[in-house]
Chain A
Amino acid sequence: MSRTDSRGLVLDEKLLFESTDPGRVGYSLPQCDVPEVAPAAELTRDEITDFPELSEVDVVRHYTRLSTWNYGVDSGFYPLGSCTMKYNPKVNEQAARLPGFAELHPQTPDHLSQGALELMYVLQQDLAEVSGFPAVTLQPAAGAQGEFAGMLMIRAWHEAQGNKRHKVIIPDTAHGTNPATAALCGYEVVPVASDGVLSKEALEAVMDDDVAALMVTNPNTLGLFESDIREICDLVHEGGGLVYCDGANLNALMGISRPGDIGIDVMHFNLHKTFSTPHGGGGPGAGPVGVVEKLRPFMPVPIVSKEGDKFVLDYDLKQTVGRVKGFAGHFSILVRAYCYILAMGGEGLKRATEMAVLNANYIRARLEGPYDLPYKQRSLHEVVFSETALANDCHTLDVAKRLIDYGYHPPTIYFPLVVKGALMIEPTETESKQNLDEFCDALLDIAQEAKTQPELLKQAPVRAKVKRLDEATAARKPKLRWVKE
């Protein structure tokens, strides 16, 4: 069945400000039985004019109707490249809501929170086993903060050697957050061009004794395995540098290849990608970091250690970079990831990786031709097409908008920058062959429409709640506040 046949009941909705009815209230408060006191002037602010006045049912219906506009992994295929939008099993939610976890106060003493600490301890060990790193911190709040914590450790290690170093090398196929992380940690970013994958020769040309680290994404943002990674790590190590791996694409390696065994020194995990915890609005992320033995003393504190048969929050790391997140990080997300690992088991995790890679290569095989594939190396978990095969001056943006008419969330577009009009598709292991076929059929239809009815692409989306938006004007002249007309 094609999704284009279906028409939902999409409710229109006014702003709360437009629905206001002066004098209407949500709750009736009892009469005041204490003397009224006027608050101090510095505690009050100017009256907000036209503040919406509504009842409880008005507000509940408003937000419920808005929620029907959502599109998420629970509503359909969400092939956003580099984001690993896999399905989040509901058993994870059940585990995270167990009262012993959900109602545990973050300042409960260690001896009264042994279950939670044990879960964290085992999760540290599980992530260590998956990645090949001996030490793991669960503290960082998400991928970017994991990168930040990892690069802070690298900087602290160099400083402890008495050699600060100033440069970080980043290939053009690394994740976009990597240069920002290096800059935030005080490093000068040295970009290096790659030809699909980074070559030893390209690295040699920029490597010197002022390089603190190479930040590499593996597989990279083209979905390609960095085939020279072992030699590249050796080269950086010989030059006295360390290697950071952005672990956002671990869904292509899990159970097959361990970054810690390849020569990587530091890597963050995205639990909200690889380990099926929710993305964005579904909950916060979590970005644990694994490190090699020599970086263990620099990890953020506390980590969870085992003393005899007791689990403790361990602050005893002499060269720690300090705390990067309050309390135990995003604990309830850790519960979900732990639950996923237990539910899948080692063989299951490996199988997930194999299916994720198979699915991406199935899409590649079905779409190559009508869609140009600029890099021909073997794809892993995602595939990146360019816009150059599209007819009649149709562009990647037009394809993405037209996909909405077919009922799909568009893939990542215009990233990575090394591909002209990149269309970056990551199906994940979640999708059935039937789903993949329907999606590929839609994209093939769209490529055909570009030849025969290009106006369909140029005007798309036509079936969505709103039509093609003027994104340039919205960004140039944003209206950030409602004003009464």
Chain B
Amino acid sequence: MDFPDELKYTEEHEWVLIENDVVTVGITDFAQDQLGDVVFVELPETGDQLETGKPLGVVESVKAVSDVYAPLSGEVVEVNNDLPDEPEMLNTSPYEDGWMVKIKLADVGELEGLMDASGYQEFIEQD
């Protein structure tokens, strides 16, 4: 399983790519593997305000329906509109084609709560 070093991670199995005060968010390779074949994705709309820990969208696989939680607070500035039509991208390319939303951060200080790749790997091994 792949956990790129340039990303940060959450306990809810999301990844975060930080570019100044805008972050790109998706679900990790581990998350897609646990979910199995993803068949449906629901995303927020551009302009929506997100709050850390509250649901930002829904991912449905052949096994289960799961909320995806906002890793950070802020405003949605871009949404991957291709994803709802091709939800399998979450399985085939979780870190690239399968990105979900871009968030303009409300508080850059929140980034400190995220794990790095090795920390996340340790976390899923314990879990």
Chain A positions within 8 Å of B, measured between CB atoms, are 414-415, 417, 471-472, 475-476
B39 touches A472 (CB 8 A): yes
B64 touches A472 (CB 8 A): no
In the complex the two chains form, what is the Cα distance from A472 to B32 in whole Å? Answer: 14
A476 touches B87 (CB 8 A): yes
Chain B positions within 8 Å of A, measured between CB atoms, are 37, 39-40, 62-64, 87-88
CB contacts (< 8 Å) of A475 on chain B: these are: 39-40, 62
CB contacts (< 8 Å) of A415 on chain B: these are: 64
Q: Which residue of A lies closest to B86 (CB)?
A: A476
17 contacts between A and B (CB under 8 A): A414-B63, A414-B64, A415-B64, A417-B64, A471-B37, A471-B62, A472-B37, A472-B39, A472-B62, A472-B88, A475-B39, A475-B40, A475-B62, A476-B39, A476-B40, A476-B87, A476-B88
Q: Which residue of A lies closest to B62 (CB)?
A: A471
In the complex the two chains form, what is the Cα distance from A415 to B61 in whole Å? Answer: 13
Interface residues of B, dominant DSSP: loop
In the complex the two chains form, what is the Cα distance from A472 to B37 in whole Å? Answer: 6
Interface residues of A, dominant DSSP: helix
Q: Which residue of B lies closest to A471 (CB)?
A: B62
In the complex the two chains form, what is the Cα distance from A417 to B34 in whole Å? Answer: 11
In the complex the two chains form, what is the Cα distance from A471 to B62 in whole Å? Answer: 7
In the complex the two chains form, what is the Cα distance from A415 to B87 in whole Å? Answer: 22
CB contacts (< 8 Å) of A417 on chain B: these are: 64
CB contacts (< 8 Å) of B64 on chain A: these are: 414-415, 417
CB contacts (< 8 Å) of A471 on chain B: these are: 37, 62
In the complex the two chains form, what is the Cα distance from A417 to B65 in whole Å? Answer: 10
CB contacts (< 8 Å) of B88 on chain A: these are: 472, 476
In the complex the two chains form, what is the Cα distance from A415 to B63 in whole Å? Answer: 8
In the complex the two chains form, what is the Cα distance from A475 to B39 in whole Å? Answer: 6
Q: Tell me which of B40, B63, B64, B88 has the highest count of chain A C-beta atoms within 10 A of its own C-beta.
A: B63
In the complex the two chains form, what is the Cα distance from A414 to B88 in whole Å? Answer: 20
Q: Which residue of A lies closest to B65 (CB)?
A: A176
In the complex the two chains form, what is the Cα distance from A117 to B87 in whole Å? Answer: 52
CB contacts (< 8 Å) of B63 on chain A: these are: 414
Q: Which residue of A lies closest to B91 (CB)?
A: A472
In the complex the two chains form, what is the Cα distance from A471 to B40 in whole Å? Answer: 13
* Distance of B99 from chain A, by nearest CB (Å): 19
* Distance of B9 from chain A, by nearest CB (Å): 20
* Distance of B87 from chain A, by nearest CB (Å): 6
CB contacts (< 8 Å) of A476 on chain B: these are: 39-40, 87-88
In the complex the two chains form, what is the Cα distance from A417 to B88 in whole Å? Answer: 21
CB contacts (< 8 Å) of B37 on chain A: these are: 471-472
In the complex the two chains form, what is the Cα distance from A399 to B62 in whole Å? Answer: 16
In the complex the two chains form, what is the Cα distance from A476 to B87 in whole Å? Answer: 7
In the complex the two chains form, what is the Cα distance from A351 to B37 in whole Å? Answer: 43
Other than the given A471-B37, A475-B39, 7 more pairs (CB < 8 A) read: A417-B64, A471-B62, A472-B39, A472-B62, A472-B88, A475-B62, A476-B39
7 smallest beta-carbon distances between A and B, as pairs: A472-B37, A475-B39, A414-B63, A471-B62, A476-B39, A472-B62, A417-B64
In the complex the two chains form, what is the Cα distance from A417 to B63 in whole Å? Answer: 9
CB contacts (< 8 Å) of B40 on chain A: these are: 475-476
* Distance of B107 from chain A, by nearest CB (Å): 22
In the complex the two chains form, what is the Cα distance from A414 to B40 in whole Å? Answer: 17
CB contacts (< 8 Å) of A414 on chain B: these are: 63-64
In the complex the two chains form, what is the Cα distance from A375 to B87 in whole Å? Answer: 34
* Distance of B11 from chain A, by nearest CB (Å): 12
Q: Which residue of B lies closest to A417 (CB)?
A: B64
In the complex the two chains form, what is the Cα distance from A368 to B33 in whole Å? Answer: 27
In the complex the two chains form, what is the Cα distance from A472 to B88 in whole Å? Answer: 9
CB contacts (< 8 Å) of B87 on chain A: these are: 476
Q: Which residue of A lies closest to B61 (CB)?
A: A472
Q: Which residue of B lies closest to A179 (CB)?
A: B67
